[in-house]
Structure 1
Amino acid sequence: MTTTSQDIPKTTHSVPEIKIFGPHECPNCGTAMKLFDRHGIDYTKIDLEAGDENHRYVTEDLGYLQAPVIVVELGRKTVHWGGHRMDMLMALVRLCTQGIVPEHEADDR
């Protein structure tokens, strides 16, 4: 099943944990990182080397062959995608910059 921007919620109660997997020299990883940096969004970049544990995770466990692979932990939900997906990146930027709502505020709605 293809991940779409609809898979990223509009709001969350906690800051998402973002991991960017890709080779050391990865232009599309750099694009994602620059976008996140510009918006003050924290992430972890994980370099992949053919055959290493992280490479096996994204290729065998998640099934991706194109970098970057972005994995977002949203509490109990995990969203991930591979390749340069500006729709997904922008949905994640919106969530991180506009959609983090403390639980007590959500309860007041």
Structure 2
Amino acid sequence: MTLTIYTKPAGCFGCTKTKQKFTEAGVPFREVDVTTNQAAFEYITEDLGYSQVPVVVYDRDGTENHWSGLNPGGIEQIIAIESHGTEA
């Protein structure tokens, strides 16, 4: 399982809440700051087609899921999968 959260450091409520929810649940993630990483910025805008952060990219067993913005349902689904090992 890999979970990557593409963020910006300041003024991003969705970024803060997304990271907080995964941290509280004990689900490890990698944070990438798109304001300092040009390749990451190009990946989320050009490859994935998003224009706002956070962008969450979750890969489990070769199946990738991703979204942009604060997504409580998506966050809870990943937490449930990682906590129980099965889809909620």
What is the TM-score of this pair, normalised by structure 1?
A: 0.72
Aligned to 2:15: 29
Q: 2:81 aligns with which of 95, 103, 109?
A: 95
Judging changes above 3 Å, is the alpha-carbon distance between structure 1 residues 76 and 51 closer, same or farther for their aligned structure 2 residues?
Answer: closer
**What 5-or-longer segments of structure 2 have no aligned partner?**
none
The amino acid that maps onto 2:85 is G
Q: How many corresponding residue pairs?
A: 85
Identity %: 25
Find the aligned partners of 1:36 and 1:51 in 2 and give their Cα distance.
Answer: 22
Q: 1:76 aligns with which of 48, 56, 62?
A: 62
**What 5-or-longer segments of structure 1 have no aligned partner?**
1-15, 101-109
Which has the greater radius of gyration?
1
Task: Give structure 1 regions of 4+ aligned residues with deviation exceeding 2 angstroms.
Answer: none
CA deviations over 1:30-62 (Å, ceiling 9, x no partner):
101111111111001100128811101000000
Larger relative contact order (Cα-Cα within 8 Å, sequence gap ≥ 6): 1
Match of 1:72, SS state, is strand
Find the aligned partners of 2:62 and 2:84 in 1 and give their Cα distance.
Answer: 20
- Structure ranking higher in strand proportion: 2
Aligned to 2:40: 54
